[in-house]
Amino acid sequence: MTENPQNAQQASSGAPGQPVPVHPGKIIAVHVAYESRAAQRGRKPAVPSYFLKPASSLGGSGAAVERPAGTELLAFEGEIALVIGTPAKNVSLEDAWSHVASVTAANDWGLYDLRAADKGSNLRNKGRDGYTSLGPSLIDAREISPEQLRVRTWRNGELVQEDTTAAENMIFPLAQFVADLSQHLTLEEGDVILTGTPAGSSVAQPGDVVEIEVDAPEVAG
């Protein structure tokens, strides 16, 4: 990220970035999902909890991310994003993954200066334009198990986050988010679920380059 006179920070080279590969009607984010993140925070949720992010917060891979003047704590959170393929309403846990079309990499940026004032809504600290970096490519969910994914984050070439969705690493399996949310609202085609970040997220500084990768290293191809 490079700082300019407006105190903007660039997420990686090549701003304004690549096209976002999906066009969700809604973006739903999970607060805490990984055992490593819960251990880092010192508390483990008994049930999933969520917050909404506006579609206007979407940003393409390589796009600029702005840190407003007067703030200091623009933090990156590497995550796996689920993209809904077919509408899900009151679906079972066993059927939930069949409603996921694809997965991709996401950076759930947060302006931690405003986190306490948001009181859990995360609207101001995570809802700003460009604060949901997504893509650029998609992995077909039909070709993988939800327990085979890996998310990694690099800052300036240094690996700072790495975790997998193996059962022992997750507080809740990925499919549970689809099943649980579908009991309360209809998940529609194109909707995105950000599935939480593992331990290791931190504050980015002007000039930093942050890269997120999601893959399935044990799956052929």
Per-residue pLDDT of the chain (221 residues), as tens digits, is 222 222 333 333 335 689 999 999 999 999 999 999 999 989 999 999 999 999 999 999 999 899 999 999 999 999 999 999 999 999 999 999 999 999 999 999 999 999 999 888 999 999 999 999 999 999 999 999 999 999 999 999 999 999 999 999 999 999 999 999 999 999 999 999 999 999 999 999 988 999 999 999 999 87
Closest CA to 1 of 109, 16, 13, 105: 13
Q: Which domain holds residue 39?
A: 20-215
Helix (H) or strand (E) holding 116: helix 115-118
Could you tell me if residue 3 is inside a domain? no
Query: How many distinct structural domains can be found in the chain?
Result: 1
Please indicate, yes or no, if residue 5 is contained in any of the structural domains.
Answer: no
State the Cα–Cα distance between residues 195 and 183, nearest whole angstrom. Answer: 17
CA distances from 117 to 52, 110, 112, 131, 159 (A): 16, 13, 10, 18, 31
* Domain contains 160: yes
Q: Which CATH number characterizes residue 123's domain?
A: 3.90.850.10
In a domain, 13, yes or no: no
Residues 6, 69: contact at Cβ < 8 Å? yes
- Residue 4 located in a structural domain: no
